[in-house]
Every structure is written in structure tokens, then in C-alpha cells.
Structure 1
Amino acid sequence: MDEVIRPRVYGSDVDDPDPGPKPGHVYRELVGGPLDGLLLDVTDWTEPQRSAGAELRTDIGRFGPGGRARYAPRAGDPAHWDWHGDSR
């Protein structure tokens, strides 16, 4: 039998026994870059915040620990946020 793998939510602990999405929350899928495939919880974000995208901390991007990865909503498909590069 094939095992179904649930996507992991950005910011969840590696040791979290249930790092997947929670019922009643709103998520955006991160596409490309160092956080590819993770879900970002935007439940409490305003619509302008969601439209602006985000710079997310990551240790696995171009700049290593303390670096950030920039993601923004995909035109015509805001449920997917595309990677737009890394920054310090």
C-alpha cells in the first residue's frame, strides 16, 4: 500500500508528530526555491498582506542561517506562491 505524505507547514518543528495543515486554517503552497512544497499558514493575514507575499526566514537558502526567501502570489493562481529569490 502506498503511504500518503501530507505536506508540511512552514515553521513547524521537525520533531512535530503532525506538521501538516490544520482544519479551519488557510494556506498557500510555496513553489520553487528553498521552501518548495511547504505550506504557509496565512489564516490571520489581511488581504493586502496576502497580496504582497512574504520574505520567509530559512537556513537552507543562498545566504544560509539568517537568510530569507521571497515568495509572492502567482498571477491568476494566488493559492500558489512562487519563489522570487533569496536575501539577507
Structure 2
Amino acid sequence: MNGDEQLLNRRVYSAEHDDPHPGPLPQRTYAELVGGPLDGLLLDTYGWRAGEVDDGVALATELSRWPGGRVLYDPRPGEPRTPGPGVSSRFYYSGDTP
């Protein structure tokens, strides 16, 4: 399986479990979520400004330490980003919040 096929087999955060096509779209940009309860999911960052990516995210999930809470994911300072479509960055798990 080549890199494009692997990318298309992954699930995007917020895609419904019964969605017949929960994977990424080839023209979009994604951050890979690393660690924590959402490990391996992709977050659609298409159209985000660099500052928004630098701020990281708080994502709602029932899988957080607090049901209905949020999990925090942040980029690592200085980690390179790949421009263009596909997985362009990684966000690392940094904790949970109610």
C-alpha cells in the first residue's frame, strides 16, 4: 500500500462511525493526532492560518478523562510542516479538560 492509499484509509476526527467514507479528502490538509484517546485520527486543518495551527486544539470527545470534556493537542515547537494537501503537521496529546 503506498502513502496515498494509507492516507485514504485513515479516519478524520468528527467523521461519523457509520459514515461510509470517513477518510480524508485528497485536496484537504490534515494534522495527525498523536497519543491520547484520539491517537491516529486526522484533524482537518484546511484553511487554517499558521498562528491557528501553532495554538493547538481542544477537541470535544466522550473519550476524554471527563465524559463530554475535551482533549488537548498541540504541535511541537520547531517541528517541520509539509505544505500542501495531505498530512502537513502533527499535534501531540497534552492533556484533558472538563
Normalised by the shorter chain, which TM-score bucket? 0.7 to 0.9
Q: Which runs of 5+ in 1 are unaligned?
A: none
Per-residue Cα deviation, 1:40-68 (whole angstroms, up to 9, x for no partner): 0000211110111100001011001x210
Runs of 4+ in structure 1 off by over 3 angstroms are none
Q: Tell me if 1:24 matches 2:27.
A: yes
1:34 corresponding residue in structure 2? 37
2:55 corresponding residue in structure 1? 52
Identity fraction in percent: 44
Bigger helix fraction: 2
RCO higher in 1 or 2 (8 Å CA, sep ≥ 6)?
2
The RMSD of aligned alpha carbons is: 1.5
Per-residue Cα deviation, 1:12-32 (whole angstroms, up to 9, x for no partner): 011110101101100000001
| Count of matched residue positions in the alignment of Structure 1 and Structure 2 | 84
TM-score computed with the length of structure 1 as normaliser: 0.88
Q: Which runs of 5+ in 2 are unaligned?
A: 1-5, 82-88
TM-score computed with the length of structure 2 as normaliser: 0.79
Question: SS in structure 2 opposite 1:59?
Answer: coil
Q: Tell me if 1:81 matches 2:91.
A: yes
Q: Distance in 1 between matches of 2:54 and 2:76?
A: 10
